[in-house]
Chain A
Amino acid sequence: MEAKINTVADEQRARDFKGPNLSPARLFDSVPYWITIQDRDFRIVSASAKLIADFGDHLGEKCHVAYKNRSEPCAECTLECTFEDGQEHTSQEALFDAQGMPRHVLAKTAPVRNQAGEIAAVMKVYVDVTEVRALQNELAGLGQLIGEIAHDAKNILEGLQGGVYIVNLGFKNGNQEDIRVGWGMIQRNVTRLSARLMDMLYCARRRSPRRMPVFLPAVVREAVELFTPRARQFHIDLQLRAAEQVEVLGEPEQIHKLVSNLIGNAIDACTADAEKQGLHRIVVAVSRDELDAIIEVEDNGIGMDTTTRDVLFKDATTTKGNAGHGLGLLLAQKVASEHEGEITVQSQPGKGSVFTVRLPVRHPKSILT
Chain B
Amino acid sequence: MDNNTIPRKKVLVVDDEKDISTYLSRIFEEGGFHVTCAADGEQALQAAERERPDLITMDLSMPRLSGVRSYQALKSRPDLATIPVIFVTGITGPGGPRDTERFYSTRRQIPPPDGFVSKPIDPAKVLELARELTSSSVLACPSPPDPQPLGLSTGSVPD
Contacts and interface: CB of A to CB of B under 8 A. Distances in A.
Interface SS of chain A: helix, strand, loop or mixed? helix
B142 interface: no
A155 interface: yes
Interface in A85-144: none
Interface centre among B24, B26, B27, B121 (most CB of A within 10 A): B26
Contacts of B119: 154, 158
Interface stretch (A162-170, A251-259, A301-309): A162-170
A185 B19 contact: yes
Contacts of B20: 155, 158-159, 162
B90 A154 contact: yes
Interface string B117-139: 00111010000000000000000
19 contacts: A151-B63, A155-B20, A155-B90, A158-B90, A158-B120, A159-B19, A161-B23, A161-B120, A162-B19, A162-B20, A162-B26, A162-B121, A163-B23, A165-B26, A165-B27, A166-B22, A169-B26, A178-B26, A188-B19
Contacts of A155: 17, 19-20, 90
A181 B22 contact: yes
A140 B91 CA distance: 22
Contacts of A151: 61, 63, 90, 92
What bracket does the count of chain B residues touching chain A fall in?
10 to 19
A165 B19 contact: no
Interface of A: 151, 154-155, 157-159, 161-163, 165-166, 169, 178, 181, 185, 188-189
B49 interface: no
A161 B61 CA distance: 17
A165 B61 contact: no
Interface in B1-51: 17, 19-20, 22-24, 26-27, 30
Given A151-B63, A165-B123, A158 B26 contact: no
User: Which of B23, B27, B90, B119 has its CB near the most chain A CB atoms (within 10 A)?
Assistant: B23
Nearest to A192: B19
Nearest to B122: A161
Contacts of A178: 26
A165 B61 CA distance: 21
A181 B22 CA distance: 9
**Interface core residue of B17, B19, B61, B123 (most chain A CB under 10 Å):** B19
